[in-house]
Amino acid sequence: MQTQRNVRLFRNGRNQAVRIPREFELDADEAVIRKDGTRLIIEPIPKKSLLELLSGWDSMDEEFPEIKDTPVQAENIF
């Protein structure tokens, strides 16, 4: 894999944009971009696992209603 490649910058509305070549594609749906001097650094934001997502939620104080759990009645379908 190449570590460097020249690309063209272009305008997309009021934003400046760059097409990321296939060999530099990020395996993510979102990324964070920051400026370090004259460099732009783009890093993928990894998807959170379900456990990470749930651990960030506040617990619920309300009670769930009682649900009558009646067994399923067998049916003769022949």
Q: Is residue 15 part of a domain?
A: yes
Residue with tokens 């979102």: 30
Residue with tokens 């009558």: 68
Q: Is residue 60 part of a domain?
A: no
Domain with 17, as residue range(s), is 9-55
Residue 17 lies in a domain: yes
> Domains in the chain: how many in total?
1
Domain assignment present for 76: no
* Domain membership flag for residue 27: yes
Asked, for residue 1, whether it belongs to a domain, the answer is: no
In a domain, 40, yes or no: yes
pLDDT confidence of residue 46? 86
The reported pLDDT for the residue numbered 60 is: 82
- Per-10-residue mean pLDDT of the chain, 78 residues long, equals 87 94 91 95 89 85 85 83
Q: What is the pLDDT of residue 1?
A: 65
Q: Which residues contact 41 (CB under 8 A, 6 or more apart)?
A: 33, 34, 35
Residue 15's pLDDT is 96
